[in-house]
Amino acid sequence: MGLVIKNLKYKNKIDGLTFTFKEGELVGLQGPSALCLMDIIDGNLKKDSGSIELGKEINANFYKKHSSDIAYINVNNKFLTNRVVDEFKFIASLRNYENDILDLKINNMLKLVGLNASYLERDFYSLSSSEKILIDIAINLLYDPKVIMLGNIFGYLDYQNQRKVLGIIRNLKDAEKIVILYSVDVDLLYQYTDKIIIFDQDKVVKSGDTMKVYTSKDVLDNQYIDRPSVALITKIARDKKKVNLMYQRESRDIIKDIYKHV
Residue 146 inside a domain? The answer is yes
148: domain CATH number is 3.40.50.300
Residue 256 inside a domain? The answer is no
Is the model's pLDDT at 262 over the cut of 60? no
How far is residue 64's CA from residue 62's CA, in Å, rounded to a whole number? 5
How far is residue 56's CA from residue 29's CA, in Å, rounded to a whole number? 23
Count of structural domains within the chain:
1
- Local structure of residue 140 (DSSP, 8 states): H
* Straight-line distance from the first to the last Cα atom of the chain, in angstroms, rounded to the nearest whole number: 49
Residue 8 inside a domain? The answer is yes
- Residue 206 belongs to what domain range? 3-227
Is the model's pLDDT at 99 over the cut of 80? no
Residues of the chain with pLDDT > 70, as a percent, come to 96
Residue 160 inside a domain? The answer is yes
Q: What is the mean pLDDT of the chain?
A: 91
* Predicted confidence (pLDDT) per residue in 17-61, tens digit: 999 999 999 999 999 899 999 999 999 999 999 999 998 888 877
* Predicted confidence (pLDDT) per residue in 162-214, tens digit: 999 999 999 999 999 999 999 999 999 999 999 999 999 889 999 999 999 99
